[in-house]
Amino acid sequence: MTPVLQARGLGKKYGRRWALTDCDLEVPAGHVVGLVGPNGAGKSTLLNLSVGMLTPSAGSVEVLGGPPGAQQAKVGYVAQDAPTYARLSVADHLKLGAKLNPGWDHAVARRIQRLGLDPKQKAGKLSGGQRAQLALTLGLAKRPDLLILDEPVAALDPLARREFLQDLMEAVAEQELSVVLSSHLVSDVERSCDFVIVLVDSRVQVSGEIDTLLATHFRLTGPRRAAKDLPGDQHVVTESHTDVQSTFLIRTEKPILDPAWTVTQLTLEDLVLAYMASSVPAQPERPVLEVQR
């Protein structure tokens, strides 16, 4: 099956600064993909490259098997600022969407009603969260094969955020939709995604199906030992030591046989934070990934 998103050596620089570097990715169809990373990591840059709003400075990206922008009817994109037409009413947006998109889902009006949005209200007069709801609803109603959402729930209140992510998961199950959504909240990704891409400081640190990643990453705690003395199949993501004890977060496909270790399973949050910590030395002022429940 054609991957919905495939990047090879993809990079983008603004002036002299790389916002995305050496990005190799393959995202299979049928997933809700969480693109997670702190502010300024390069998430929007990757998404904008994927929809053809930016051109790469290096490498290439394919969307649904073709160049970005070639299959506009099949790709839905909601940018970070939830763009809408300020002077058009909510109802006008639905009419316009129906005219422009052959596969338009006319049941969308019910969702607008459920959200309590007044069809006569001009989009410019909606609150930030309401505007985001409108933009996301239009994105879903287009019934694309791939929906790309940049920080889709950032402006929503906690209940609306939960409901939207639930709607998204239902749409994926019903419409054979694939979704790539960016977030700096691990909890959003934990709740709604089954595939994760961790992007830190312009580089993809790890990507894959969440179940597979959690089944191959472990925390080992035991008597002090150097990383070089671990078996070759155990890739160290992070390590910390006291005088007598070592803790490693490792990735391995093989069973851990050494009885000296206490082996602990990781949560997604543990895994994401470990890859973030492994990417750069700690700096007090650097932005951190929010963990919010």
Ligand X SMILES: Nc1ncnc2c1ncn2[C@@H]1O[C@H](COP(=O)(O)OP(=O)(O)OP(=O)(O)O)[C@@H](O)[C@H]1O
By CB under 6 A, name the binding residues for ligand X: 14, 19, 37, 39-45, 80, 184
Minimum distance between the CB of residue 44 and ligand X, rounded to whole angstroms? 3
Minimum distance between the CB of residue 62 and ligand X, rounded to whole angstroms? 20
Minimum distance between the CB of residue 143 and ligand X, rounded to whole angstroms? 26
Does residue 198 contact residue 276 with C-beta atoms inside 8 Å?
A: yes
Q: For ligand X, which is the closer residue by CB, 93 or 184?
A: 184
Q: For ligand X, which is the closer residue by CB, 30 or 40?
A: 40
Q: For ligand X, which is the closer residue by CB, 220 or 272?
A: 272
Length of the chain: 293
Q: For ligand X, which is the closer residue by CB, 31 or 184?
A: 184
Does residue 249 contact residue 218 with C-beta atoms inside 8 Å?
A: yes
Tokens representing residue 117 in the block: 């949005």
Q: From CA 80, how far away is CA 58, in angstroms rounded?
A: 24
Please identify which residue in the block is written with the tokens 């994927």.
50
> What are residue 7's DSSP bridge partners?
25, 61
Q: From CA 185, how far away is CA 189, in angstroms rounded?
A: 7
Concatenate the DSSP letters of all residues of 203-258 into one string: EEEEEEEHHHHHHSEEEEEEE---GGGS-TT-EEEEEEE-SSEEEEEEE-SS----
Minimum distance between the CB of residue 215 and ligand X, rounded to whole angstroms? 28
Tell me the residue type at 188: D
Q: For ligand X, which is the closer residue by CB, 93 or 131?
A: 131
Minimum distance between the CB of residue 204 and ligand X, rounded to whole angstroms? 12
Q: For ligand X, which is the closer residue by CB, 6 or 44?
A: 44
Minimum distance between the CB of residue 242 and ligand X, rounded to whole angstroms? 35
